[in-house]
Amino acid sequence: MPSDRAWSRRAWLQTAGAAALGAGLGSPAHEAHAASLEVGRPAPALVLRTIDGHSISTEDLRGHVVILTFWATWCGPCHQELPLLSDYAAKHADRGLRVLGFSLDEPASLPAVREMAAAWSFPVGLLGSAYAGGYGRVWRIPVNFTIDRNGLLADNGWDSREPAWTTERLERIVTPLLR
C-alpha cells in the first residue's frame, strides 16, 4: 500500500492538474507555446522565487549561461542528477554559469526541499504549479533547458533523449557555451 507521502504527492499532482485544466493551462494555446520552443530562438523569461525569499529572473541573467532544472524530492533520477549538476555549476560559476532549480514539490514538502538544496551550489524554489510559463506544463522530470549568454535557447529539454544531465552531456552541451 502506498505511503501517506505518496498519497499526498498523488493528491497534490491531481489537484494541480485539475487546477491547470480549470484555468485553461492545458489548452492548445499553452501547449502550442511550449511546442514552439526552438533552439536558437529567444528563451521564454521565467522567474525563480527562491526558498529564501528572493526572485531571480532569467532576463536579469543575460550575459550568463543559464540552466533551468525542474525536479522533485521524490524523483529518483533527480537524486542522481542534481549533485552532479551542483558540482558542475560550482566549478564553472566563474565562467558565467548560473543554474536555477525549480522544485515541483508541494509546499508541505518545503523542509525536504530545503534539506536537499542545502548541499547544492545553486538557488532553488518551489515552482508552485506544474506549469512553467513558456516552457509549458512540466510533465516529466528531470527536465532541463539551457539558455546561452544572448538569451537564446541552446538546449530544449523536451527534445532531449537523455532527460537527466550526465558529465558527458554537460561537457557536450554547456561547456562550449562557456568559452
pLDDT tens digits along 149-169: 999 999 999 998 877 899 999
Burial-class residue 177 by CB neighbours within 10 Å (0-12, 13-18, 19+).
buried
Cβ neighbour number for residue 86 with a 10 Å cutoff: 18
Average pLDDT (114-143) is: 96
**Predicted structure pTM score:** 0.82
User: How does pLDDT run across 23-62, given as a tens digit for each residue?
Assistant: 444 444 344 456 679 999 999 999 999 999 999 999 999 9
- Specify the pLDDT at position 6: 47
Residues in contact with 173: Cβ distance below 8 Å, sequence separation at least 6, in sequence order:
146, 154, 155
pLDDT over 90 (residue 3) = no
CATH number at 70 reads 3.40.30.10
Across residues 104-119, what is the average pLDDT? Answer: 98
What is d(CA 40, CA 81) in angstroms, rounded to the nearest whole number?
25
For residue 48 the three cell numbers come to: 525563480
pLDDT (mean) for 88-107: 98
Q: Residue 54's CB: how many other CB atoms inside 10 A?
A: 10
Q: What is the pLDDT of residue 162?
A: 79
State the average pLDDT for the chain. 87
Check pLDDT > 60 for residue 123: yes
Which pLDDT score is estimated for 132?
Answer: 96
Domain that includes residue 153, residue range: 4-178
- Helices in the chain by DSSP H: which ranges? 4-22, 28-35, 76-92, 110-117, 167-173
Query: What pLDDT is stored for residue 17 in this prediction?
Result: 45
Task: Give the count of domains, the chain.
Answer: 1
